[in-house]
Amino acid sequence: MKRRRVVILGATGSIGQSALKVARDIPDRIEVVGLSAHRNSAALERASKEFPGARCVRTDGPDGAERLLELATLPSADLVLIAIVGTAGLQPALAAIEAGKDIAVASKEILVMAGEAVMAAAAKHGVKILPVDSEHNAIFQCLEGRETASVRRLILTCSGGPFRDTPREDFDAITPELALRHPTWQMGRKITIDSATLFNKALEMIEAKWLFGVPMDRIEVVVHPQSIIHSMVEFVDGSTLAQLSRSDMCFPIHYAATWPDRVPNSLQPLDFSALGRLDFEAPRRKDFPALGLAVEAGTRTGTLPAVLNAANEVAVDAFLHRRIRFPHIWEIVARTMDRCPHAGHPDLARLIEADRAAREIAAEIARSLRVGKH
Ligand code: NDP
């Protein structure tokens, strides 16, 4: 029985806190050896008291990037959980891989921006990428190491977000408060807005392409409002496997931390009689253009996924600060994708440059759309 020595980058966030819950639940399987917080020193202090052996760092100072790298390559660690929102986790993820550590990835943005580079680095250094995003964790569980040649389709489930039934003409009136009320998941602010626009699913389609080596035209999305089936794999023989659990991120974190074993825990299982039914419907692709933009970015690849991701981060921030309206998020991403020059086989430096340039262009478009501006 292996006890994994785990570093948690982004320990104060929603995923980070769930990871600490998992660590508390199965102390014979997880030893927390490192924790990072960006600004939330109170939560970091609480965690450091609870896990006194862990090295704890704050990363919002001028040497934050260095401290993250140091923690990601901590000699005593064998698994690094990347749970930092946005792309700040990319360099630490690559550093951990180069140091020979397995990584568990919650931060989908880093796989969208640089999935090819991350997967190539993992193959080169012989380390495992363990998906924590619930959909990818579900697919990982359904595949159980099978070759993707046996896969016909990956089917990502999607709650539909809070505006699944909202008519398109009401989208202009959506406020951050309304968008932050997710029907089935408790998450950080950025991913909650992404769930409302369906950019979360868009990012996940691209994430799935890199993680599992399946082309975009075999990655589908189905709306499943109960969020009980976390995703499915349809194999070439027509059989479909699904993974089910309550919507609690402790499940995928637990599996990533204990893989390849099945380990008992105190998480509450499903009660099918209480559940009653599971529903499915097609996503409203026209009203939620994020999915179409993901197909375009994930098919053309190059710098385009990095551009989509960066523009979305800028747009979400502008929306949360009430500078733009909700539908502007799609408009900013689409216009930024149109305006950014496209490079075919970018190296990491080129991707970082594409990310920077896209943020600048997206911010300029956001300023031009500013609410109240005439
Ligand atoms: P939160 O906003 O709740 O937490 C973000 C974490 O990252 C915090 O610990 C924060 O520190 C830290 N952080 C923020 N900015 C930086 C930075 N520039 N450098 C270093 N650390 C930073 O986010 P979530 O936990 O919701 O999401 C984390 C990632 O996991 C995202 O990529 C998200 O897409 C993904 N994910 C989340 C799910 C969820 O259920 N929440 C589900 C699936 C994926 P501090 O608080 O101290 O400032």
Tens of pLDDT, residue by residue over 200-218, are 999 999 999 999 999 999 9
Does this model's pTM top 0.85? My answer is yes
**Contact call for residues 230 and 249 (beta carbons, < 8 A):** no
Strand partners, 310: none
Domain range list for the chain: 4-132+249-270, 142-225+280-369
Mutate to test the pocket of ligand 1, among 57, 63, 187, 253 (most ligand atoms within 8 A of CB): 187
Q: What percent of the chain has pLDDT over 70?
A: 99
Residue 45 one-letter amino acid: E
- Residue by residue, DSSP assigns 138-156 as HHHHHHTT--GGGEEEEEE
- Alpha carbon distance 324, 363 (integer Å): 11
CB atoms < 10 A from the CB of 43, how many?
17
4-132+249-270 homologous superfamily: NAD(P)-binding Rossmann-like Domain (3.40.50.720)
Same fold, 4-132+249-270 and 142-225+280-369: no
Ligand 1 binding pocket, CB closer than 6 Å = 10-16, 37-40, 59, 83-85, 88, 106-109, 133, 185, 187-188, 191, 249
* pLDDT, position 147: 87
Say which DSSP state 126 is in.
T
Q: Is the pLDDT of residue 173 over 70?
A: yes
pLDDT in tens, 249-280: 999 999 999 999 999 999 999 999 999 999 99
- In the block, tokens 């292996």 appear at 2
Q: Which CATH architecture has domain 142-225+280-369?
A: Orthogonal Bundle (1.10)
* pLDDT, position 373: 60
* pLDDT, position 246: 97
pLDDT in tens, 272-302: 999 999 999 999 999 999 999 999 999 999 9
- In the block, tokens 């253009």 appear at 289
Mutate to test the pocket of ligand 1, among 81, 85, 207 (most ligand atoms within 8 A of CB): 85
Residue 76 one-letter amino acid: S
Report the mean per-residue pLDDT for the chain.
Answer: 97
Residue 361 one-letter amino acid: I
